[in-house]
Structure 1
Amino acid sequence: MKPLLVLLAAATLLPGCKGDEPAPEPVRPVLSTLVEPQMQSQLGRFAGTIQARFESTLGFRVSGRIARRWVDVGAQVKPGDTLATLDPTDQQNQLRAAEGDLARVQAQWINAQANARRQQQLYDRGVGAQAQLDVAQTDLKTTGASLEQARSAVSQARDQLGYTTLKADHGAVVTAWRAEAGQTVSAGQEVVTLARPDVKEAVIDLPIPVAEQLTPSLVFTVASQLEPAISTTATLRELEPQADATTRTRRARLSLASTPQAFHLGTAISVTLSSAIAPRTELPATALLERDGKTQVWVVDPQHKTVSTREVTLVERSERRVVLGAGVQPGERVVTAGVNSLKPGQQVKFDEDAR
């Protein structure tokens, strides 16, 4: 009987020993993302336009009433093309008056020449007085000077008449008219603006704090607002030293690395500013594990599907995002949700395509 009781007791103890073994940790599904380091720091996105690098505003060199505008805004003109004309009546009258003065002085010049020759001949024969010869020669010189002056007056009057026609001095596109037909303009007043379409640039207005951060290493990405896929890069060419008194912005002009065909003059663009920085990683704030005075994240072992903690360096922090300076490597997978319920070495299940 005793051996039988011992066997029964042993049989009852065996199941109890098996139940004392710890149950394996369950495979926990997690959300995760791949580490993709940032090499650029975004300073903002600003609206701007495509403009010609070279623009000129032309005006008449004489005063008068605009008789006709020969081209409209948007027209392409060649060197020498007529843009506008003034009523030339006043200039034509001045030219006729100058030509009349020239004819009168020319007649005086011919008479002075004949008188000087006659007095010289009389003096050479000994029947003429030296005083009369001197008067004749002086009169000839005076009339010669008056002749040159009259010729200059005629040339100037012709120029003034020519100035009543405003012509393009280079190939360009008419971008603006500042005076209308029938309007009286003064000499030098702005009448029309021409832009050379062969060299274009991006123009944006930046807030003063952003403008003060501009450096030669900045990278500008210029994209069309209507077609964002059409884009190019640009570099800073000029930054106006003085801010606009109304908008408190400073105008920046950017030289384009290339000029897409869709970048016509006046095209609305979106300009993104970024600068080169030390590699850093941006993650959701939920990926951060702060425990025992340490800042950590859970890194997934892709081969064994397990997790382990990794201490990281925190650079920036907001309500939704954190920026890490060191601690994780590109291509590693980091848990982004449920970090407080994981244990080192625990197996996890995650979506391979999670970002």
Structure 2
Amino acid sequence: PLFKAGETVGAGMPVLVIIGAGTPEVEINIPASEYLEREHFGSFTCTVNVFPDRVFPLELISIDPMANLNQLYRMRLRFKRDSNGELPTVGMSAMVNIGYCHEDNRGEIIPATALWEKDGKTYVWIVEGKDNCSVHAQEVIVVEMLREGHSVCHGIGRDKQIVVAGVHALKEGDKVRLLEEKTATNVGGLL
């Protein structure tokens, strides 16, 4: 019981907690950006401070389809039966890790600003060379437009450098200069 006999309890207040003897569950709240990616959730694990050297596999029970007042979606997970040894108990804090399924055929995720069109086809500028960089047009197929200004495209290939700004001012063979990488001391990339 959470209250003593004779105490006044407000409407909607829990008065009793029942703890089951079955497999413990983990409850987390995820933001809308993660909720929109729920189809790509692949695996779930958690770590608990009390068991610093163990990673516990979890399985998804449910995700509430409606956000709470904080614009978070409640997600319930349970410990897998094949977890060896002692499991965490009710009330212990856990850090949950969500693994995403990245299908090889899904494509590359790039900023939408890198895309440009000509004659009804979509292209990106691929940067070739390291010192004397030039660009050439590469046709791509846009598979999906994502939120936050990104696109999923086929046809670029991994480890290729592309132009992401000023794409409409370039033409085939133009020379470009690569921006220097941010240093560890340039926090926020302001310098």
> Structure 1: how far apart are the matches of 2:148 and 2:5?
61
- Coordinate RMSD, CA, aligned: 4.8
Equivalent residue for 1:267?
Answer: 93
| Matching of residue 302 in structure 1 with residue 129 in structure 2 | yes
Q: Which runs of 5+ in 1 are unaligned?
A: 1-176, 183-190, 225-229
Partner of residue 288, structure 1 = 115
- Structure 1 residues 251, 295: closer, same or farther in 2, change over 3 A? closer
Sort the Cα spacing of 1:344 and 1:251 in 2 relative to 1 into closer, same or farther, 3 A: closer
Distance 1:276 1:233, change over 3 A: farther
Q: Is there any run of 5+ residues in structure 2 with no aligned partner, and where?
A: 7-15, 49-53, 183-191
Matches within 5 A, 1:339-354: 339-351=167-179, 353=181
**Aligned to 2:113, what secondary structure does the other structure show?**
helix
Residue-by-residue CA offset, 1:39-84 (whole Å, 9 max, x unaligned): xxxxxxxxxxxxxxxxxxxxxxxxxxxxxxxxxxxxxxxxxxxxxx
- Partners in 2 of 1:258 and 1:343 — Cα distance? 60
- Same amino acid, percent of matched pairs: 25
Distance 1:203 1:306 in 2: 51
The correspondence of residues 78-97 of structure 1 with structure 2, limited to 5 A, is none
5 Å-filtered alignment, 1:51-90, equals none
Provide the residue aligned with 2:149 in structure 1. Answer: 321
- Higher helix fraction: Structure 1 or Structure 2? 1
Question: TM-score, normalization: structure 2?
Answer: 0.55
Query: Does 2:36 match 1:203?
Result: no
Secondary structure, aligned partner of 2:127: strand
Alpha-carbon distance between aligned partners in 2 of 1:280 and 1:273, rounded to the nearest angstrom: 18
Equivalenced residue count is 153
Q: Given the superposition, is the C-alpha separation of residues 255 and 348 from structure 1 closer, same or farther in structure 2, using an over 3 Å criterion?
A: same
Q: How many angstroms apart in 2 are the aligned matches of 1:203 and 1:318?
A: 28
> What amino acid sits opposite 1:201 in the alignment?
E
Normalising by structure 1, we get a TM-score of 0.33
State the 1:351 CA deviation.
Answer: 2.2
- Quick one: higher RCO (CA 8 Å, sep 6+), 1 or 2? 1
Moved over 6 A (4+): 261-264
Q: Which letter maps to 1:351?
A: L
Residues 226-276 of structure 1: CA deviation (Å, up to 9, x unaligned)? xxxx9865223x459xx99x99x88743326689x9987253766747444
